[in-house]
């Protein structure tokens, strides 16, 4: 809340809106009042323009930050691997030590959860955990700093710019969809088409009588399809919902903090005293919530990762296997 030029509602809406690039249809009246004579690819200047762009629009800020953090992550692991190969007797330190701890932690979790042989499951889990953790960590940055820098660079004070990719359902559901495709792939390759169909139609209800079993088939199929489709949806929405709620709390605390400062500097003694209490209280709440949020961002990255490993383990399970 930089000044009194916008209301609290506008401030919240602005911080919750992505920088979107998409195609506005011909006939749409733009933010400048000019009607478009043809379909035009452009950046959205309002929530109405975002809605008019439809499904095929790109959240540039979410995609940009997700890609930048992925490159940063890959660079860090590459650097740590090179350094580890050059180190002989001395123990790793600093970033290399932290990454080694992360690798060991995820490796142990995969060994405990995934009871099959697949060399790519642990790397997938490590990538998901560290990448999601980095994206979640962006929520710890001061709520106004990066958007203001982006607005200054773009020369647009009203620029939409979100910095936490996991508060965008397109990002979280996109990752969940990738996991879902892996689950389907291993379900087919491990069990075969017939085995996969049997899994969907002969469970959870079964009977020795073929007539009764035939009656159970559509019931089983409906239940198993719901269960199957619920996995990626719940996986993506759980991460999005928790991070979105955390961001909303940061925004509300920022409103309290900046609002307290405006009241404290208004000139009236009693109002200034109340504003000072709001200002100090908001600052303390920012610190307390940030400390607590460190646990939240770590836990959400871990939950997404461990559920992915569980789903992949279930996809590898074959009915006649005995462990």
Q: CB under 8 Å to 85, separation ≥6 — which residues?
A: none
DSSP conformation class of 143: T
Q: How far apart are CA 306 and CA 243, in angstroms?
A: 18
Of the residues 187, 242, 258, 313, which is catalytic? Answer: 242
* Catalytic status, residue 85: no
Report the 10 Å Cβ neighbour count for 260.
21
Alpha helices in the chain (DSSP H): 8-15, 47-53, 60-86, 94-113, 121-137, 145-154, 169-201, 210-264, 269-316
Q: Which tokens sit at 101?
A: 């701890």
Q: Which residue has the tokens 């919240």?
A: 12
The answer to whether 282 and 253 are in contact (CB under 8 A) is yes
The answer to whether 294 and 166 are in contact (CB under 8 A) is no
* Catalytic status, residue 238: yes
* Catalytic status, residue 242: yes
Report the 10 Å Cβ neighbour count for 304.
26
User: Judging by DSSP bridges, how do beta strands 20-24 and 58-59 pair with one another?
Assistant: antiparallel
Of the residues 47, 118, 170, 238, which is catalytic? Answer: 238
Among 101, 135, 107, CA closest to 121 = 107
DSSP conformation class of 29: B
Q: Which residue has the tokens 């992925």?
A: 70
- What are the two backbone dihedrals, phi and then psi, of residue 59, each rounded to the nearest 5 degrees? -80, 90
Q: CB under 8 Å to 255, separation ≥6 — which residues?
A: 1, 8, 11, 12
The answer to whether 278 and 260 are in contact (CB under 8 A) is yes
Active-site amino acid positions? 234, 238, 242
């Amino acid at each position: 809340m930089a000044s009194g030029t916008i209301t609290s509602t506008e401030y919240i809406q602005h911080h919750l809106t992505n920088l979107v690039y998409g195609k506005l249809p011909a006939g749409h009246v733009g933010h400048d009042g000019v009607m478009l004579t043809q379909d035009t690819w452009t950046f959205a200047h309002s929530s109405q323009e975002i809605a008019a762009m439809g499904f095929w629009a790109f959240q540039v800020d979410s995609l940009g930050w997700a890609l930048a953090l992925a490159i940063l992550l890959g660079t860090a692991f590459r650097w740590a691997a090179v350094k580890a190969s050059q180190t002989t007797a001395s123990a790793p330190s600093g970033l290399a030590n932290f990454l080694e701890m992360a690798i060991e932690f995820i490796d142990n979790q995969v060994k405990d959860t995934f009871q099959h042989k697949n060399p790519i499951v642990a790397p997938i889990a490590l990538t998901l955990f560290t990448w999601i953790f980095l994206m979640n960590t962006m929520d710890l940055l001061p709520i106004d700093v990066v958007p203001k820098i982006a607005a200054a660079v773009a020369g647009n004070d009203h620029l939409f710019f979100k910095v936490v990719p996991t508060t965008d359902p397109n990002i979280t559901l996109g990752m969940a969809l990738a996991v879902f495709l892996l689950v389907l792939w291993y379900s087919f390759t491990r069990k075969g088409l017939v085995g996969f169909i049997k899994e969907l139609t002969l469970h959870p209800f079964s009977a020795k009588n073929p007539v009764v079993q035939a009656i159970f088939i559509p019931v089983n199929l409906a239940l198993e399809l719901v269960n199957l489709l619920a996995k990626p949806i719940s996986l993506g929405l759980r991460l999005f919902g928790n991070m979105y709620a955390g961001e909303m709390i940061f925004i509300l605390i920022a409103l309290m903090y900046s609002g307290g400062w405006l009241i404290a500097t208004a000139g009236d003694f009693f109002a200034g005293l109340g504003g000072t209490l709001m200002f100090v209280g908001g600052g303390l709440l920012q610190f307390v919530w940030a400390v607590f949020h460190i646990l939240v961002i770590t836990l959400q990255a871990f939950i997404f990762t461990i559920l992915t490993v569980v789903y992949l383990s279930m996809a590898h399970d074959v009915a006649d296997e005995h462990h």
